[in-house]
Structure 1
Amino acid sequence: MDLGLERVAAVSKHLAISGHGDDSTMRIVVAGTNGKGSSIAMLESIYTAAGYRVGCYTSPHLHHYCERIRFDGHLVDDDAVCAAFEVIEEQRGEVPLTFFEFGTLAALMLLDAERLDVQLLEVGLGGRLDAVNIVDGDAALLTSIDFDHSEWLGDSRAQIGLEKAAVMRPGKVAVCGDQDLPAAVVEYGRQQGARLFRAGVDYGYQRVCGESWRWWGRQNQERVLP
């Protein structure tokens, strides 16, 4: 494993990959220890039901590599992935890329080509040095913070949280689902100028009865959801 953004960022320029607020697509970057895949699945369902065209990049796959990339609920086909890999191989020159970096660049190329309304992008490991972090997300979701990949991310929740919080961007929404968020992560978000929304502080929810839920936000507006 060789973490870092220099290589993948350099090659992405040759590929003219978007992701820096230079088009109309909304990009949501999802990081965290647990819950990334399920969060993306729920967001995909919500946006699709609202009539938006949605693309997803997740990892790892269970049975087939193409599970990692889907548009409008359908998996990308093998030929498209192979063609994207060929373009990357031609454009990278002497820049070495890891397997995950190849896959991330291919996914971003394919997602951009579809001219989607929304892209949902899952971080592979950590956040700060993960290939997905070349994208400046319009929003970041930090699902949870726990001990994982300590040899790479640190041996405390604060250190791990800071690695994952690096997907936050100035002036952009950052939703944090961990109700025991390390103070260092909160301070980092504030220093970055991110618009933090913390579970249990800025929003919350509880089961009412049966399948109904009550949600509240910063203005104490309560809504019962079916």
Structure 2
Amino acid sequence: MPDTKELASYSVDDWLHHLEALHAHVIELGLDRVHAVISQMGLTPSVPVITVAGTNGKGSVCAMMERIYSAAGFSVGVYSSPHLIRYHERVRINLAPITDLALCQSFQAVEAGRGEVALTYFEFGTLAAMAAFMQAKVDVIILEVGLGGRLDAVNAFEPSCTVITSIDLDHQAFLGNTREAIGFEKAGIFRKDIPAICADPLPPATVEAHARAIGAHWLPLAQDEHGFGYRRVENQWNAWCGQKHYRSLPIPALRGSYQLNNAAAALAAIACLQTTLPVSMGAIRRGLLEVELPGRFQVLPGQPQVILDVGHNPHAAKALASNLSQLGYAERTFAVCGMMADKDVDSVIALLDGHIDVWMLASLPPPRGANAIELAEKIIARGGVAHSYDTPELAWNAAFKQAGERDRILVFGSFITVGEVLPLAQKRHASH
């Protein structure tokens, strides 16, 4: 371990390299290590904590609550992952990514507090985020689960409210091969007497069963006062949670029809904490209109139209296909796509192939990254047109060169793919 004097001079990059070297495994689920360091550091927040799990939609729900609580005048800390461009995006305080100084100070606090405990990269980052939020004295903390729920480092902190956004197949090597098994893992964030909000319209039985077994306050997506729900009315929508009703709401600024589901879950959590964190209708409307989250069906202005979406599993691909079908006409759709080899690549391709004319496939870094040539072979075998490139940047450059003003370019498949292309796309559009 470096000495204290050396640690004090560490940059953010130095710290991230240090985190990567601490533990033999990138992922090792379990809470014992995190609980031990929480105890040693006294990392027990005195403000409400909202924990959000789910296959897809977690980031959107967190972002909506973040904007609404900020509009209501509260100081808000949000921890989410992974990041698109810079690690700082994972730790947001009052809508802004954490500063270099605050992040390094939090890393140093965890390093000093962990003793001989070998934390994983995610565990170390989770503890540092909480240290930063407590140092900043925020009013509410929103934590996005990294993987699953029950054994995720985020779950070491006691929540005041819990949300599950959706449940589908992803990370099967860690969570199980069925929705029932994955649902049980995600339901691990529930607590006795604490709201257990579930926005999946058809959750596996294991989710409700676990909520009821531990005595959580079960709030499913429903059409009555026993849960929460929403209804679209022309260009507005109404939502409710129990006896609390929200009427004539603006459509959220995040694109995609599924965002109403996410927004309803966010409002349910806000309703559950209304006594502790009072929020006005004005703050809700403003938050919904101003919410931003890069890479979630993000449409850049200009021609050709560029869409960026971090969707990387079948559940997300189905939603992406639905959103594409609702867009206006385009002569051709080019797809810049790079994926992880451990994802259900075949299902993602099958769901989107009918919406894409030309695939520009990019290799992502080993060991997890899928090879572009192998991806191209899958497309060609289906009768599609595909080209392979060594990096997302090269695939993007080729797509932008070939696409005409009446075409569109879809960038998707991984946070890495979107994160590499996003600044290039923004720069290219700014110069045209």
Distance 1:84 1:216, change over 3 A: closer
| Aligned partner letter, 2:247 | R
Question: CA–CA distance in 2 between the matches of 1:69 and 1:13?
Answer: 22
Question: CA–CA distance in 1 between the matches of 2:206 and 2:90?
Answer: 32
Question: CA–CA distance in 2 between the matches of 1:113 and 1:164?
Answer: 29
1:28 to 50, 58, 65: 50
Query: Which residue in the other structure is 1:42 paired with?
Result: 64
Query: Which residue in the other structure is 1:190 paired with?
Result: 212
Q: Does 1:165 align with 2:187?
A: yes
What is the CA deviation profile of residues 90-128 of structure 1, one whole-angstrom value per residue up to 9, with x for unaligned ones? Answer: 222221111111100100100111111111100000011
Verify the 8 A CA contact 2:109 2:131 in the aligned structure 1.
no
Q: 1:221 offset after TM fit, Å?
A: 5.6
1:151 to 170, 173, 183: 173
Local SS of the residue matching 2:222: coil
Query: Which residue in the other structure is 2:29 paired with?
Result: 3
Query: Which residue in the other structure is 1:204 paired with?
Result: 229
Distance 1:129 1:222, change over 3 A: closer
Deviates more, 1:7-16 or 1:134-143: 7-16
Higher RCO (C-alpha under 8 Å, 6+ residues apart): 1
Alignment of 1:24-103 (within 5 A): 25-103=47-125
Query: Which residue in the other structure is 1:118 paired with?
Result: 140
Local SS of the residue matching 2:189: coil
Query: Which residue in the other structure is 1:215 paired with?
Result: 239
Question: CA–CA distance in 2 between the matches of 1:217 and 1:73?
Answer: 26
Distance 1:84 1:215, change over 3 A: closer
Q: 1:220 offset after TM fit, Å?
A: 9.0
Q: 1:219 offset after TM fit, Å?
A: 4.5
> Considering only CA atoms, is the larger Rg found in Structure 1 or Structure 2?
2
Deviates more, 1:149-158 or 1:81-90: 81-90
Local SS of the residue matching 1:166: helix
Unmatched runs of 5 consecutive residues or more in structure 2: 1-26, 251-432
Local SS of the residue matching 1:189: helix
Question: CA–CA distance in 2 between the matches of 1:10 and 1:77?
Answer: 27
Q: Which has the higher helix share?
A: 2
Q: Does 1:137 align with 2:163?
A: no
Question: CA–CA distance in 2 between the matches of 1:75 and 1:223?
Answer: 32
Local SS of the residue matching 1:17: coil
Q: Does 1:17 align with 2:43?
A: yes
Deviates more, 1:55-64 or 1:88-97: 88-97
Query: Which residue in the other structure is 1:178 paired with?
Result: 200
Unmatched runs of 5 consecutive residues or more in structure 1: none
Q: 1:217 offset after TM fit, Å?
A: 4.1
Question: CA–CA distance in 1 between the matches of 2:245 and 2:36?
Answer: 46
| Aligned partner letter, 1:90 | A
Task: Write out the 4+ residue segments of structure 1 that deviate beyond 4 Å after TM superposition.
Answer: 219-222
Q: 1:17 offset after TM fit, Å?
A: 0.2
Q: 1:12 offset after TM fit, Å?
A: 1.3
| Aligned partner letter, 1:32 | G
Q: 1:215 offset after TM fit, Å?
A: 2.2
Q: Percent identity?
A: 47
CA-based RMSD: 1.5
Q: 1:200 offset after TM fit, Å?
A: 2.3
* TM-score, structure 1 normalization: 0.93
| Aligned partner letter, 1:103 | G
